[in-house]
Amino acid sequence: MKLKKLNKSFYDKSYYQSEKIPTRKILKTLFKYVLYYKKELYIAIVYSLLQTVFYTIGAFLVGKIIGIFFEPIIYGQKAISDFGDLNFFFYLLGLSLCFILYAIFRYLELRSYIDISYKTTQNLRKEIYHKLQNTPLYYLDTKKDGDLITLLIIDINNVSNSLFQTISGFFNSLLSLIFAIVAMNLVSSLLSLIVMPTAFLIYFSVFLYIRRSQKHFHANTQAFARLNSFVKEMLNNAKVTNVFHKQKFVYKNLKKITNDIQNISYKGDVISRSFDIFYSW
């Protein structure tokens, strides 16, 4: 579907203006809640370590199988009739076992991190709800209902998903990077000197893209909060709208808000998806 030209409200500063909280402070606060589940976190890290070990061994066995059984035949050093069937079978058995164990520990790892993330956000949601119950009425009167709905539902769900991606990606990537550096140094120190600076350059580029797209995702949250407020107000005042024949006016404003959400989401997704290929690499 072709997007319409960005309207003026796309550049409305109210979507982008808010109190800026350092990312380090946010992560520190979230990990404070995660540490309530230290035992589960340590178990998940062990799963991450084991799945990384078996994946690395499996990748090493792939190279050994090619080097021992296929390269001599390709270069004419051995005939196909000299192909060692029994040894080849044992190597394949070891390779299969490594990747089966990798898949099992990968599943257990993801399941553990998901469990930690949802338990953490459940506690966070309960704490926010408890604070709202003890919040003075004058504060609630100064806030739109849509902002509170967004906080309790959309923002907490985003925190849960982001927390899962952060803790799973951090430990998994850190362990994978350590094993990759060790493996490259064992194979060729020259190879590691070429790959490592390139990898760090790509990671730095990804970090810049993330910082650039962050403001658009925050603006998207603000736009959804405005949508929630608008829908609630229109539902509560449906009779007034019908009496004064303001249906077209309401529809026009609703369409404007949804177009803002579409345009902001599009721009944020374009920026974030542009570094997926480097992040996966």
CATH superfamily of 34-187: ABC transporter type 1, transmembrane domain (1.20.1560.10)
For residue 75, give the 3-state DSSP assignment.
Answer: coil
Give the count of beta carbons closer than 10 Å to the beta carbon of residue 7.
Answer: 12
Question: Could you give the maximum distance between any two Cα atoms of the chain, in Å?
Answer: 91
The pLDDT value recorded for residue 11 is 44
Whole-angstrom distance, CA of residue 15 vs CA of residue 22 = 18
Angle between helices 156-187 and 85-133 (to 10 degrees): 150
142-169 residue pLDDT tens: 766 656 666 667 677 777 777 777 787 7
For residue 22, give the 3-state DSSP assignment.
Answer: coil
The pLDDT value recorded for residue 186 is 77
76-86 residue pLDDT tens: 777 666 666 77
Give the count of beta carbons closer than 10 Å to the beta carbon of residue 264.
Answer: 26
The model's confidence at residue 96, banded by pLDDT at 50, 70 and 90, is very high
Query: Pick the residue with more confidence: 100 or 237?
Result: 100
The pLDDT value recorded for residue 93 is 92
pTM for the full model? 0.65
Residue 270 has pLDDT above 50, yes or no: yes
The model's confidence at residue 14, banded by pLDDT at 50, 70 and 90, is low
